[in-house]
Amino acid sequence: MSIEVNSIEELKSAIDSGADEIVSYDSDVVAKLKAIKLAKSWGPAAVAGIIAAIPLVITTGPVGAGVIAGIAPSAGVATSTIVALIVAIGGVIAINLFTDWDYVELPGGIKMKRK
């Protein structure tokens, strides 16, 4: 089942509904998902560090953001985008975005495919 989403709330709903493929052309959603895709390219250790920092982001905000920034200090924009996404969607779904999905960039958009 493929679903097109145009907001973070729609993204959450699509994930919760069990969609196998999610597509978005919304610039805000695309930017956040591209940041996740970029972070995944840093390697398993970086992804594990980000996942470990998610509870800190949820509970402390700036402290958790600092931990994520420490993992990839040269990618400040991606880091702040990931932190904003974690805050917007919550920890469980954020972890799901790193572990359960593959990302394919489309012209003007992005497609997520469940692994």
Between 49 and 110, residue with greater pLDDT: 110
Share of the chain above pLDDT 90, in %: 48
pTM of the model: 0.82
Look at residue 45 in the predicted model and tell me its pLDDT: 83
Q: Which helix (H) or strand (E) holds 86?
A: helix 76-89
Residue 61's pLDDT band, with cuts at 50, 70 and 90, is: low
- pLDDT of residue 79 exceeding 90, the answer is no
Strand bridging mode 109-114 / 2-5: unpaired
Token representation of residue 1 = 């089942």
Please give the average per-residue pLDDT across 19-36, as a whole number. 95
Please give the average per-residue pLDDT across 94-114, as a whole number. 95
**Three-state secondary-structure class, residue 104:** strand
Please give the average per-residue pLDDT across 39-58, as a whole number. 83
Torsion of CA 98, 99, 104, 108, to 10 degrees: -30
Look at residue 99 in the predicted model and tell me its pLDDT: 93
Look at residue 85 in the predicted model and tell me its pLDDT: 84
- pLDDT of residue 74 exceeding 60, the answer is no
Segment 18-27 long-range contacts (CB within 8 Å, at least 24 positions apart)? 19/114, 20/113, 20/114, 21/111, 21/112, 21/113, 21/114, 22/111, 22/112, 23/106, 23/109, 23/110, 23/111, 23/112, 24/109, 24/110, 25/106, 25/108, 25/109
- pLDDT of residue 69 exceeding 80, the answer is no
